[in-house]
Amino acid sequence: MEMEMKDELGVTVERLAAAASLLEQAVERLAQRQNAFVEDAEASISRIVATVDAHREAELEEKLAAAELKIAELQARGGMAAPAAGRKTLPTAMTSLLAKQGVTVDSLEAGSLDAALVSLSLEQRIAVKSQLIRAGLLG
């Protein structure tokens, strides 16, 4: 009888060991799946971010090209050659915006203007330069 109990106990221990081994294998597979899922998710997010960035960059390039085209058309029509008919001074808001960027109207140079306006958005830079051109301060 005692021998039977030892055999049954031995069989039970073996079964428990086998079950523990199977559980360890299952945990390893789950960890591998989770790691693969995380890697796939990170790759997908990176692709989405890159697509959004590329789309925004393309939008800005299109706007810049359109603005440059419009400026070229205006120059070709002679709109830039006659500032005498337009305003000779800058609006107060424009003067203060330039002053905040460290540019004074009497010391206006193309290089310093571009450097001062680099922190502004594309649309703001175009607006500033348009005002300067209208005032006859930028050629």
Secondary structure of residue 6 in the 3-state scheme: helix
Alpha-carbon gap, residue 28 to 50, rounded angstroms: 33
pLDDT (0 to 100) of residue 105: 62
Q: What is the mean pLDDT of residues 61-67?
A: 90
Exposed, middle or buried: residue 8 (CB in 10 Å: 0-12, 13-18, 19+)? Answer: exposed
Q: Look at 24-38, 51-65, 66-80 and tell me which has the smallest mean pLDDT.
A: 66-80
Task: List alpha helices for 2-135, DSSP H.
Answer: 2-77, 92-100, 110-117, 122-134
Residue that is written with structure tokens 């899922």 in the block: 37
pTM score of the predicted model: 0.35
pLDDT in tens, 91-139: 777 777 777 766 666 656 666 677 777 787 888 888 878 887 777 777 6
d(CA 117, CA 128): 9
Q: Tell me: the pLDDT tens digits for 3-40?
A: 888 888 889 999 999 999 999 999 999 999 999 999 99
In this prediction, residue 36 carries a pLDDT of 93
- Predicted confidence band at 87 (pLDDT cuts at 50, 70, 90)? low
Dihedral sign, CA of 76, 81, 82, 87? positive
When pLDDT is cut at 50, 70 and 90, the band that residue 84 belongs to is very low
Give the type of residue at 139: G
